Amino acid sequence: MVGPEARTPFAHRGPVFAQSGAVRPRRSGFRAGDGGKISAVSSDAVDAAHSRPEGASDELVQAAGTMSEALEYLERARGHLYSFHQLIGRADLLLDDAVEGLAANGHEELAERVGTGLRGANVLAGRWTFQVVEEFDDGYYAAFRELERAVREETMGGRRHVLEAEMKQRRRTHGRPGHEATPDDA
């Protein structure tokens, strides 16, 4: 290979494509089809629970898989939100020790400023982090989960991970130990 792509360790995975303004590498196991769209190479699945519904196109499997992937990112973001909640709570509790230490060492006015200015303060207007978490969970998170479920129900017959099951079939070495399709095959 000649050119800049020869210098990248992942040049064999193909070009990058733009989606939603971001540029990312093409997913392994897929090939570019007409118009730059991604289409699956195979429709085989590991088992009936993960099989493609009759008549589902490659593009539909891809769309449903992308919706599920988006939910996975949302779940990770939610975990970070809960980390934020716990970290802010711990920081607020540590202020007790800081206020006590400042006051015990002759800095009563500074201790008062920290104690009344920060300790117990809202992180957002009218909200502690538990209220932020609850609002997120009850609003955006609940709506996202419901719509992801609707996409699966209406396009994949409720089946989860159809896209990944087909990818597993393409990527595993059939007949090799450690590459079985299901736990029952191991």
Kindly state the helix (H) or strand (E) to which residue 61 belongs, with its residue range: helix 58-104
Query: Is 152:162 a contact under the CB 8 Å cutoff?
Result: no
What is the per-residue pLDDT across 157-186, written as a single tens digit (0 to 9) for each? 999 999 999 999 999 999 999 999 999 999
Convert 99-110 to b/e letters by CB count within 10 Å (16 or more is b).
beebbeeeeeee
Dig out the tokens for 179 from the structure.
Answer: 């590459």
Query: 0.85 exceeded by the pTM?
Result: no
Q: Give dist(CA 4, CA 16) in Å, integer.
A: 13
What is the per-residue pLDDT across 2-58, written as a single tens digit (0 to 9) for each? 444 444 333 333 333 333 444 344 343 343 333 434 344 345 788 999 999 999 999
Query: Is 119:96 a contact under the CB 8 Å cutoff?
Result: yes
Which is more confidently placed, 119 or 9? 119
Which pLDDT value is given to residue 135?
98
Dig out the tokens for 145 from the structure.
Answer: 């989960």
Query: Is 169:46 a contact under the CB 8 Å cutoff?
Result: yes
Closest to 42 (Cα-Cα) out of 184, 158, 169: 169
Give the residue carrying structure tokens 């932020």.
Answer: 132
Distance from chain centroid for Cα 176: 31
Q: What percent of the chain has pLDDT over 90?
A: 75
Beta bridge partners of 22: 19
